[in-house]
Structure 1
Amino acid sequence: MSETAIDKQRVADSFSRAAATYDQAAAFQRSAGSNLLARIPAQLQAHEIVDLGAGTGYFTRALTQRFAVAAAGLDLAEGMLRFARQCNGSEHALLDRQPRWVVADAEALPLRPASQDLIFSSLALQWCPDLARAIAEARQALRPGGCLAFNTLVEGTLFELQRAWQSVDAFVHVNRFMPSDELRQILAASGFSHWRCDLETHVLRYGQLGELTRELKALGAHNINQGRPGGLTGRARLRALTQAYEAFRQPEGLPATYQVAQILMFKES
């Protein structure tokens, strides 16, 4: 099995385990996704819609309601989709049009060429080992004039946690994210007729470091990079990490910064 396949399985397993706790810890994720949804032009006519990396289905349902069509929720994490189906069958049972749920890999989409009007993906494609391939798959699935709307985390995300860990040991404890310049190069080479990439900074505040680490665990956003430490983290290292992170404390609390690229791409008509 390749390293890429191992990483994808690790991502899928991590998010599947977090399905039941994800929504309670996903305030930032919903804010970033709502900002992306608001960027989609009001005049866009979409009859076939995919939510790629649907997770628990929050934005799959939002897309279904906005466009009055049954969106399809695709995700690599089968556990997330099981939770989405259960949620859709109870809390959202009154929807006129029910979303569809499909286990799928963004780098090998089970979609017919030129079959989709809108592919929406919020904070999912940063987990793809080959972002360019995922974008190419989306472009192939879009009809002429179709839109790929996605956001992704870029370099600078959780830099406070990264720097605090660097003062403790040489392991990789925080997921690495693509520099924004590299991202723009991939977008420019994608073959889309036109695109736009805007950067947003979100700063979350916490009273104690443990609140942040528990939230990351609840979200399933574990460290998947090579060079990560094995086994449990000892108490002495955790104390050292906590002390190092305290250097970032502000009157409002301990900051955790997320850098989000909000992207709209349109296929040639």
Structure 2
Amino acid sequence: MSIAATLSPTPPEADWQGRVARAFSRAAPRYEALAGAQHRMGEVLWSRLTDHMVGQPSAVLDLGCGPGHWSARMASHFGPEARITGLDLAPGMLEVARRRHGDGLRWLCGDATDLPLATASQDLVFSNLAIQWCPDLAQALNEVARVLRPGGRALINTLGPGTLAEVSHAWSRPNRPAALLAFQSPQVHRAAAQLAGFASVEMQAASRRFHYPDLAAVMASIKGIGAQNAHSGPRLKRADLARARRRFDSLRCPDGLPVTYRLLTLVLER
């Protein structure tokens, strides 16, 4: 399949946004406790922020802010001169963010493919493990480019093919692959960024592996990063769970059950 064809969005299931928003809202109260892997990968993105940010931004967007960890950290880092906006699709995440970090930051409910922000209004867009949820990657990056001012930067963590290969192995059955998101390749991300009009596109791909004691811990750890399909379907049976546990246990190593993420870190300049 050509990159151009891959960039054409697959029509999402009806009300996919509602399903995603409800799933994240339900997870919001426990998200911080379960998001160890997400935070560790976010530290990679944070190091790029300190490396690539030149000057003091006046407006910063945390795209897919969840319960507001990175929004609050950027507010502390940049100080009161910067207006920080945390945006998320899930109202429940924003409720937790507002409760934990207050109203000194701006919290917005919105979709990454239709940002409720003015054109050329942001100096920096920071997004840790959010855009893999977007069924239309090209439109999401178009929107990031639209809201950035000339010379503005976007720092984005997302996920590529090979992510959660162990989870896919555990849950798949003959002629029935596991229902995970279709993670796009680095080439597709680069092409989408270039078509969006970014003057500079830098990308780094790296594998990150984490270990967990059992299948329950694995499944709890991945709820927040787009691993679960937002499609409806039949409820799992005990036999499905037992089969998945056996298949995953076959991959166990001395450190526990492995979970691999193929992390893509994008630095984009408008």
The alpha carbon displacement at 1:216 in A equals: 3.2
> Contact 1:119–1:148 at 8 Å: present in 2 too?
yes
Matches within 5 A, 1:42-191: 42-68=53-79, 69-89=82-102, 98-167=104-173, 170=176, 172-191=178-197
> Contact 1:7–1:224 at 8 Å: present in 2 too?
no
Percent identity, please: 35
Change in CA separation of 1:221 and 1:146 when aligned onto 2, cut-off 3 Å: closer
Does residue 35 of structure 1 match 2:41?
no
- Rounded to whole Å, the distance in 2 between the matches of 1:191 and 1:232 is 43
> Contact 1:118–1:147 at 8 Å: present in 2 too?
yes
Does residue 204 of structure 1 match 2:210?
yes
The Cα offsets for residues 72-117 of structure 1, whole Å up to 9 and x where unpaired, read as 101110110011101113xxx9xxxx21101111111111111110
TM-score scaled by structure 2?
0.88
- Rounded to whole Å, the distance in 1 between the matches of 2:143 and 2:121 is 12
Gaps of 5+ in 2: 1-10
- Rounded to whole Å, the distance in 2 between the matches of 1:253 and 1:44 is 44
- Rounded to whole Å, the distance in 2 between the matches of 1:29 and 1:241 is 23
> Contact 1:126–1:153 at 8 Å: present in 2 too?
yes
- Rounded to whole Å, the distance in 2 between the matches of 1:44 and 1:158 is 38
The alpha carbon displacement at 1:234 in A equals: 1.5
Code of the residue aligned with 1:247 in structure 2: it is S
- Rounded to whole Å, the distance in 2 between the matches of 1:16 and 1:103 is 12
The alpha carbon displacement at 1:156 in A equals: 0.8
Q: 1:231 aligns to what?
A: 234
Change in CA separation of 1:174 and 1:120 when aligned onto 2, cut-off 3 Å: same
**Structure 1 residues 31-40 or 251-260, which shifts more?**
31-40
- Rounded to whole Å, the distance in 2 between the matches of 1:17 and 1:263 is 29
> Contact 1:18–1:220 at 8 Å: present in 2 too?
no
Aligned alpha-carbon RMSD (Å)? 2.0
> Contact 1:72–1:102 at 8 Å: present in 2 too?
yes
- Rounded to whole Å, the distance in 1 between the matches of 2:14 and 2:153 is 28
- Rounded to whole Å, the distance in 2 between the matches of 1:166 and 1:63 is 40
The Cα offsets for residues 10-43 of structure 1, whole Å up to 9 and x where unpaired, read as 1111001101000001111111122112102142
Does residue 10 of structure 1 match 2:30?
no
The alpha carbon displacement at 1:198 in A equals: 0.4
Change in CA separation of 1:189 and 1:223 when aligned onto 2, cut-off 3 Å: same
> Contact 1:15–1:221 at 8 Å: present in 2 too?
no
Q: 2:3 aligns to what?
A: none
Q: 1:244 aligns to what?
A: 247
**Structure 1 residues 23-32 or 185-194, which shifts more?**
185-194
The alpha carbon displacement at 1:184 in A equals: 2.3
